[in-house]
Chains A and B, each alone.
Chain A
Amino acid sequence: MIPLSHFLTVSAILFSIGLYAVLSKKNAILVLVGVELMINAAALNLVAFGRYDGKQYEGQIFALFVIVLAAAAVAVALAIILSVYNHYKSINPDDINNLKD
């Protein structure tokens, strides 16, 4: 059987890749992709820990919720990006700096 630490390692790598994408990408879509990666890392953790709860499968159920909510969040986020694009004619996060000063 695959030990728990493998899952956690994969999950941590996945989270770090997502974080990197969020912090460094110059395209809002890719930032959103990074956010999805981080959510999936969290879901992976939930599922990995859920294995130790043999009766109620709470981890798996939370993972399902996370996936559903992530889908919904992506829908909303894409709508916001579209709206931002309409306003700024750009989806580069560096250009959206109206709060500066």
Chain B
Amino acid sequence: MDQLSPSSLAVYLAMLVLLAPFGSFLLSALSGKKMKSGWPATIAIILSLIASVILFFSVWNKEDVHQGFTWFTIGQHRFELGVWLNNLTVLMLLLVCLIALPVHIYSAVYMKGDEGIHRYWLFLSLFCFAMLGLVMASSLLTMYIGWELVGFSSYLLIGFWYTRDAAVRANKKAFLINRIGDLGFLIGIALLYGQFGTLDLNALFGADGLIGQASIDSQWWRYGNHSLPVMWLSIAGLAFFLGAMAKSAQFPFHIWLPDAMEGPTSVSSLIHAATMVAAGVFMLVRVSPLFSSEVLLIIACIGAFTAFMAASIALTQNDIKKTLAFSTVSQLGFMMAAIGIGQFGVAIFHLVTHAFFKCLLFLSAGAVIHEMHHLKTAHGLDIDPQDIQNMGGLRKYMPKTFFLTIIGAISLAGLPLTAGYLSKDAILIYAFEWAEIRSSVALLIPLTLLLSSALTAFYIARLVFKVFYGKLRLNGTSVDYHPHEAPKGMWYPMAFLACASFFFCYSYNPLVFEEAWPLNGFPRIEQMERMNIYHTVIPALVNSIAILGVFIAWRWYAQQKYPLSARGGLYRFSFAQWHLDHVYSKLIVKPLLFLSDLLYGFDRRVVDGFVDLWSGITRRLSVLAAWLDQYVVDAFINRIAQLAFVMGGVFRGSRQGKVQHYLLGMFLIFFIVMLLGLKFL
């Protein structure tokens, strides 16, 4: 009997992680509308979770597993299908499963009674399968397949309520913008394949990968006998970054993410926490050895700018899910900035902590929306259940949801004792250290991040105060509404996520991020000697600013002492999301539509006109031919036939069947012949 070596066991487990959701997807697909229950999907994700926990403990900080087989061969080029399990992979696998499981349980309650519930479980399983496949892929090709599948299934889920016009527009927008990024990813893959002739991730980016072996001199980027101008190294890095920008919603491609709120809230939480947007950050960390310093600088700038922009937009949004969506964009900006300053482990750490508290916040928002929707249908109100201007005072009606939201909010704001504190401080401290050894202009990046962090504290406090404090703004003078607490199936998963939002899941020390275990799984890149001053000053600074932000929000929203006019220019600028949709519409959509109109007109007038002209000529000609046929050719034939008919009639007239006439004829002819014979002989 064969001995199962640990690595082959790991491969089997990886297959289980991947195939369980796929099996559930197939089952749902085959049973169609009958599959109303979410149990197959949930059981599949539990199986994945168990397998990924075992995988985690067998691979984390131990030997990598890299196995695969040849999938197909084109000429000399072999393409492999396989898994590459290292620290990053198993951490992400665990994260995806850990986030997906509460979301599945929550969905069972949240989506109950929806008409399309069978499609919901189908798409959700596909989504998890795609993300898990993307994470464990061993080559860029399979990773790209997972990447596309993630995009496609998110398209399906965002447009889940496809009868709503807004949902259909949102999923089209998400899909189109992601296509731009996919193009970048594909170009990057092509460049790497052209240079190195392999797509294997381990061979390219592993411990002593080909990227490291390639040499760079002043003009050429060389590997073996392949060489490209050194510019292409940066272009390859930027191409990969373009893919990540679209997937992880970085400026200027962030516009799809807020619109994606049209999907069910549980889906939003999954997209925002662990699957869709995490894919971009994950991919950048995977290919990180590729980036040159210029590319890293660009990534840092865009990340910091996105963090600030999205945070400023989130300040004024009235839709509870839109606020959270911009918050995600902003936090993704933080992760990008962390990648840009070369701290890949920190980026993943923030990805992990953010996944838990953002999922928690979304699920809480879902619970609130669920109750508001319930009120709306129960009392026949004409309100938008997601508008925080209708909420308020929910703390009294939904104490558990309130408590859990507070945990998510302080974690997002980065207050001490939470997971968000650890990861956000790590990013900020490293950013300041990074700026220290560069010029003073570089200080702009950490300062932008610091400002965004303060804005974060403010907008999440605003959200909490507006939703849970004060009085329920729906309650007029006559009617009192009484929302209820969320059901168990909804707040149990939230409670689990809340536990994971505290520091003790990551580190024994609540104040120093450096002891956090997820960071120890990645090569630590110190910019210079640890600068103690930053490690003390920055957390204190961040927290005092955050507490100040929360305090201002409390004054303004909880105590109703709102000092600003909603008509201010900055307010409107933020409320309109920096007018970016407008700008895109003017700069891209309008010209495109104009161009298509032009082309359509060209098609109508010139191409169609030419064809129409030809068909007109042909029709005239055929009319002429038909006339000729009828009145000349046919007429001639008819005349001949008529002649034959008439002649026949004439000759038939003499044939009366009278024997004596025949006899007379015979006699006469004989007589004539005899006469003629007499004459000529």
**Distance in Å from the Cβ of A75 to the closest Cβ of chain B?**
21
Q: Do A100 and B655 touch (CB < 8 A)?
A: yes
Q: Do B664 and A97 touch (CB < 8 A)?
A: no
Query: What is the 8 Å Cβ interface bit string for chain B, positions 659-671, against chain A (1 contact, 0 not)?
Result: 1100110010000
Q: Is A98 an interface residue (CB 8 A)?
A: yes
Q: Is A37 an interface residue (CB 8 A)?
A: no
Q: Is B652 an interface residue (CB 8 A)?
A: yes
Among the listed B655, B657, B658, B663, which residue makes an inter-chain contact with A22, where contact means beta carbons less than 8 Å apart? B663
**Distance in Å from the Cβ of A83 to the closest Cβ of chain B?**
16
Q: Do A94 and B658 touch (CB < 8 A)?
A: yes
Q: Is A2 an interface residue (CB 8 A)?
A: no
Among the listed B652, B658, B663, B667, which residue makes an inter-chain contact with A97, where contact means beta carbons less than 8 Å apart? B658
Q: Do B652 and A101 touch (CB < 8 A)?
A: yes
A94 to B658, CA, bound (A): 5
A101 to B652, CA, bound (A): 8
Q: Is B656 an interface residue (CB 8 A)?
A: yes
Known: A19-B667, A23-B667. A97 touches B657 (CB 8 A): yes
Q: Could you say which residues of chain B place their CB within 8 Å of the CB of A97?
A: 656-659
Q: Could you say which residues of chain B place their CB within 8 Å of the CB of A1?
A: none
Q: Do A93 and B656 touch (CB < 8 A)?
A: no
18 cross-chain CB contacts under 8 A: A22-B660, A22-B663, A23-B660, A23-B667, A24-B660, A31-B660, A93-B660, A94-B658, A96-B657, A96-B659, A97-B657, A97-B658, A97-B659, A98-B657, A99-B657, A100-B656, A101-B655, A101-B657
A99 to B652, CA, bound (A): 12
Known: A22-B663, A93-B660, A100-B656. 5 other contacts (CB 8 A): A23-B663, A96-B657, A97-B656, A98-B657, A99-B657
Q: Could you say which residues of chain A place their CB within 8 Å of the CB of B663?
A: 22-23
Q: Do B652 and A93 touch (CB < 8 A)?
A: no
* Nearest-CB residue, chain A, relative to B659: A93
Q: Could you say which residues of chain B place their CB within 8 Å of the CB of A100?
A: 655-657
Query: Which residue, A93, A96, A99, A101, has most C-beta atoms of chain B within 10 A?
Result: A93
Q: Could you say which residues of chain B place their CB within 8 Å of the CB of A93?
A: 658-660
Give the size of the chain A interface in residues (CB under 8 angstroms): 13
Query: Interface residues, chain A, CB within 8 Å of chain B?
Result: 19, 22-24, 31, 93-94, 96-101
**Distance in Å from the Cβ of B651 to the closest Cβ of chain A?**
12
A96 to B659, CA, bound (A): 8
Nearest first, the 9 closest Cβ-Cβ pairs linking A and B are A97-B657, A100-B657, A93-B659, A23-B660, A23-B664, A94-B658, A93-B660, A99-B657, A23-B663
* Nearest-CB residue, chain B, relative to A94: B658
A31 to B667, CA, bound (A): 15
**Distance in Å from the Cβ of A63 to the closest Cβ of chain B?**
24
**Distance in Å from the Cβ of A8 to the closest Cβ of chain B?**
17
Give the size of the chain B interface in residues (CB under 8 angstroms): 10
* Nearest-CB residue, chain B, relative to A99: B657
Q: Could you say which residues of chain B place their CB within 8 Å of the CB of A99?
A: 657
* Nearest-CB residue, chain B, relative to A100: B657
A40 to B241, CA, bound (A): 133
**Distance in Å from the Cβ of A33 to the closest Cβ of chain B?**
14
Query: Which residue, B655, B656, B659, B663, has most C-beta atoms of chain A within 10 A?
Result: B659
* Nearest-CB residue, chain A, relative to B663: A23
A26 to B77, CA, bound (A): 110
Q: Could you say which residues of chain B place their CB within 8 Å of the CB of A23?
A: 660, 663-664, 667
**Distance in Å from the Cβ of B660 to the closest Cβ of chain A?**
5
A32 to B357, CA, bound (A): 134
A99 to B660, CA, bound (A): 13
Q: Could you say which residues of chain A place their CB within 8 Å of the CB of B652?
A: 101
Q: Could you say which residues of chain A place their CB within 8 Å of the CB of B667?
A: 19, 23
A96 to B660, CA, bound (A): 11
Q: Could you say which residues of chain A place their CB within 8 Å of the CB of B656?
A: 97, 100
**Distance in Å from the Cβ of B267 to the closest Cβ of chain A?**
92
Q: Could you say which residues of chain A place their CB within 8 Å of the CB of B655?
A: 100-101
Q: Could you say which residues of chain A place their CB within 8 Å of the CB of B660?
A: 22-24, 31, 93-94
* Nearest-CB residue, chain B, relative to A28: B659
A98 to B656, CA, bound (A): 10
Q: Could you say which residues of chain A place their CB within 8 Å of the CB of B664?
A: 23
A94 to B663, CA, bound (A): 12
A24 to B667, CA, bound (A): 13
* Nearest-CB residue, chain A, relative to B662: A99
* Nearest-CB residue, chain B, relative to A25: B660
A84 to B658, CA, bound (A): 15
**Distance in Å from the Cβ of B61 to the closest Cβ of chain A?**
115
Q: Could you say which residues of chain B place their CB within 8 Å of the CB of A22?
A: 660, 663
* Nearest-CB residue, chain B, relative to A93: B659
A65 to B657, CA, bound (A): 34
A98 to B214, CA, bound (A): 113
Chain B residues 631-681 with CB under 8 Å of chain A are 652, 655-660, 663-664, 667
A24 to B663, CA, bound (A): 10
A100 to B663, CA, bound (A): 15
* Nearest-CB residue, chain A, relative to B652: A101
Q: Could you say which residues of chain B place their CB within 8 Å of the CB of A98?
A: 657
A19 to B656, CA, bound (A): 21
**Distance in Å from the Cβ of B418 to the closest Cβ of chain A?**
117
A96 to B663, CA, bound (A): 14
A93 to B664, CA, bound (A): 13
**Distance in Å from the Cβ of A87 to the closest Cβ of chain B?**
15
A100 to B661, CA, bound (A): 12
Q: Could you say which residues of chain B place their CB within 8 Å of the CB of A19?
A: 667
Query: Which residue, B655, B657, B658, B664, has most C-beta atoms of chain A within 10 A?
Result: B657
* Nearest-CB residue, chain B, relative to A22: B663
A23 to B657, CA, bound (A): 14
Query: What is the 8 Å Cβ interface bit string for chain B, positions 5-37, against chain A (1 contact, 0 not)?
Result: 000000000000000000000000000000000
A96 to B656, CA, bound (A): 10
A99 to B656, CA, bound (A): 9
* Nearest-CB residue, chain A, relative to B661: A23
A22 to B664, CA, bound (A): 9
**Distance in Å from the Cβ of B681 to the closest Cβ of chain A?**
21
Query: Which residue, A19, A24, A31, A94, has most C-beta atoms of chain B within 10 A?
Result: A94
A23 to B660, CA, bound (A): 5
A94 to B652, CA, bound (A): 16
A94 to B660, CA, bound (A): 8
Query: What is the 8 Å Cβ interface bit string for chain B, positions 177-205, against chain A (1 contact, 0 not)?
Result: 00000000000000000000000000000
**Distance in Å from the Cβ of A15 to the closest Cβ of chain B?**
11
Q: Could you say which residues of chain B place their CB within 8 Å of the CB of A101?
A: 652, 655, 657
**Distance in Å from the Cβ of B670 to the closest Cβ of chain A?**
11
